[in-house]
Structures are given as structure tokens and as C-alpha cells.
Amino acid sequence: MRTFRPRLPTSIGSYFAFPLIATIGSVGALGALAWEAFKVGALSYGGGFVIIPLMQFDAVHTYHWMSNAQFLNAVALGQITPGPVVQTVAVVGYAAAGFGGALLAAFIAFTPSFLFVLFGGPHFDRIRASVGVQAFLTGAGPAAIGAIAGAAVPLTLALSHRWQVGVLAAAFVWLVLFRRNVVVALVAAGLIGVAGSFAGLPVGP
Amino acid sequence: MSEAAPPESATLSSGGVSLATIARGWTRIGCIGFGGPPTHIVLLRRLCVTERSWISAAEFEDGIAATNLLPGPASTQLAIFCAWRLRGRLGGLLGGVCFIVPGLIVILALSSLFLASRPPHWAEGAAAGAGATVAAVALTAALGLVPASWGRMGSRWSQRTRWVLYAITGGALRQRSVLTWSWCSWRAAPLRLA
């Protein structure tokens, strides 16, 4: 009976080929991450939540940087931390390529904002008066709203445990019906999750 | 860097604002700015308009209106704008970085905890609980954007129908959001140009 033995590279070229392929692969992954961050920073309307329709499918299904549950955590982290919500891209970058990926994603997502304001600031009056800009927003606004609201469907389907549905229902009442504070909802839900973990509720992926 | 300073006409008491003052003020807002853009706007207005009178209320509102027209994170752009108004490009760069970095440090620390291959059991619980609310949070965010967008579209029945159509299209094609937004904008342009 023949036993399988992995073949070792037999030429000098082969020894270089594997690291080269790995390097090209990682450069490709960083390129994809850079593009995702650029979309959020330079091409998006609707605030920090556009990260959900813009990045969820690619981060979870196309590139497999993170699971659905981890993506939910990324959005939650972006909400409960101070400062811009858009830094959720750093969490996605961390999942894709560690600290370097996080810093790259944050750098690319925020750089367009600096360029727009520092070089466009003197022309803000013209931008506000521009019919073209107004026309663009007239169409982009409702489409962005639809995209963010539509993202609630896959976000709900991403829940893995039945008790989470109860937490979501409570959050819906608190946020959508009573229009109360988002940070309070997230922190309270997190504490419920901690209590649940000690009480034996399933919390893993 | 600071040669492209903003116009002086609307300057109030912004003449002597040092870079160190900008660094302190914007870092503070970056540290206590929990709650997203509404909180950031309140904190920036309190610092720049109410307490220090660096920027007039009208110019601050103009800044909000202009940054809402730009793609990307509007409240971050407003923070950069306010600092730029005080000390030109160098001030804007410094203010923006000081506004962003505190939250970035916190979120990186939390990422290393929550995205670890074996996070602590309590952290998994916290993540599962907080993550469960995100769909409702997204819905709230979308609803918060409706009034301004609805008002911009116009009051005619056909315009409102188009608004609903674009929203449905955006929801259905969310995985291709940028393309969808571009298409809707191209379709909507005649409404504004007419």
C-alpha cells in the first residue's frame, strides 16, 4: 500500500515561489481591505452605519475576515466607543490583518475627510450652492437609508441564539419606538449578555 | 501648511488659538464623545461657539450643512473644519487626529479582546448581548436620516414616489451600495435641475 508523502520543493525556484505567492495573497487581501475602507471614507453617505451595507457581505462572505457574529460585535464596538462611528472599519481591518490592518483601514477611511476639508474648505460655499451636489444627494440619500434599513434583515438573521432575539426585541422597543439612547441600549444588552454567560446561556458562535 | 488659512471676515476671537489648545480641546472631545455624531456636534458647538466664541453660530451651522454634503463621516469632517477655521491646515490636521486617535486606541484594545481566538467567556457574553441590538440600532440610524432626505427630494407626489423607490432599491441592492447610490443620484438629477 502506498503511503502519501508530501513532496518537498525540489528546485531553488520552488523555495521562492511559496513565499512569493503568500506575499501576493497578503497584498491582495490588503488591497481588498483598502478598497473597503476607501468606500466607507470617500464614497459613502449616511454616517457611520453605511459600514453595514458596504462591508458586511464582503467582510463575512467574500473575504471571510470575520464571522457574522464578529461583524455584529464590530458595529457594536463602533457605537460604544467615543469618537467617530466610522472607526468600526478598524475592527474589520483588525480581523483581516491584525493591528497593521486596523491602522491601514482607519488611515484610508479617514484620509479623504482630511483632504475634503483642508483643501475643499475654502470652497464650501460653492459646494453648498452646487445644483449637481444637491442632485447627487437627492438620489443618494434615500438609497443609503434603504441600504442601512435593509441591513437590519441580515443582521437579525445573523443572531445565533434564541435569547438574543428577546434582547433585539427589547432594543427595538427602546430605540425605535421610544427613541432612547443607543449607548445605553448597547451597554445594557452587553451586561445582559455577561449575566447570561454566568447563568449558563449559550454565548459562543 | 497653514498658508491656506480660512477667511478672516467671520473670525471672532480665534486669532490667538494655539495648536496646543486645539490639541487639548479636540482630544477631550475625542475622549468623551460617546454617542456618535449628535454628541460630537453638541460638544464642538459648546467648545467653539458657546464657551470660547472662536466661530460664529452661523458659520458653525454652515459647517454642518457643508460637511453633510461631503461623502464620509460628517462629524469627523466637522471637527476637522472647526480646527481648520482656527489655525488653517495644520490646525485642521492636528484637530482631526486628536479627535480620532483616542477612540481608535480604545477600539483597537477592545478588538484584540473580542476578536481573540479564545475570548474570555464573559466577553463572549457581552459581545453576544450587545451584538443582538445592532439590527435595531441600524434601523434607528436609518430612521434618523429620513426627515432631511425626504425634505430634500421635494413635495410633489412623483418625487415622493421616487424617494420610496430609491429607498427600496437601496435596501434590495445593499451589497452594491455605491453603484446603487450613483444610479439613484443620476436618476434624481433632473428632479433638482428642473
In chain B, positions 139-158, which contact chain A (CB-CB < 8 Å)?
A: 139-143, 145-146, 148-150, 152-153
Choose among B97, B55, B62: nearest CA to B76.
B97
Residue type (1 letter), B71: P
How far is it, in rounded angstroms, from Cα B76 to Cα B68? 11
In chain B, positions 34-63, which contact chain A (CB-CB < 8 Å)?
A: 34-37, 40, 62-63
What domain count does chain A have? 1
In a domain, A166, yes or no: no
How far is it, in rounded angstroms, from Cα A147 to Cα A151? 6
At A15-63, the pLDDT tens digits run 455 554 555 556 677 899 999 899 888 887 767 777 787 788 889 988 9
Residue A1 or A76, more confident? A76
Query: What's the Cα-to-Cα distance from B11 to each of A54, A135, B44, rounded to whole Å?
Result: 39, 32, 16
pTM: 0.79
Instruction: Specify the pLDDT at position B175.
Output: 60
Instruction: Specify the pLDDT at position B193.
Output: 46
In a domain, A180, yes or no: no
Instruction: Provide the CA A136 distance to its chain's centre, in angstroms.
Output: 25
In a domain, A89, yes or no: yes
Instruction: Specify the pLDDT at position B194.
Output: 43
At A144-157, the pLDDT tens digits run 788 888 888 888 88
CA distance B158 to chain A (A): 14
Is the pLDDT at B48 greater than 80? The verdict is yes
In chain A, positions 89-128, which contact chain B (CB-CB < 8 Å)?
A: 90-91, 94-95, 99, 102, 106, 109-110, 112-114, 116-122, 124-125, 127-128
Q: What is the pLDDT confidence band of residue B148, given thresholds at 50, 70 and 90?
A: confident
In a domain, A78, yes or no: yes
Instruction: Specify the pLDDT at position A43.
Output: 80
ipTM higher than threshold 0.90: no
Could you tell me which chain B residue has the CA closest to the CA of A127?
B66
How far is it, in rounded angstroms, from Cα A11 to Cα A19? 14
In a domain, A55, yes or no: yes
In a domain, A41, yes or no: yes
In a domain, A9, yes or no: no
Residue range(s) defining the domain that contains residue A46: 14-132
Is the pLDDT at A202 greater than 50? The verdict is yes
Domains in chain B: boundaries: 19-114, 133-193
Q: What is the pLDDT confidence band of residue A137, given thresholds at 50, 70 and 90?
A: confident
Mean pLDDT of B92-116: 94
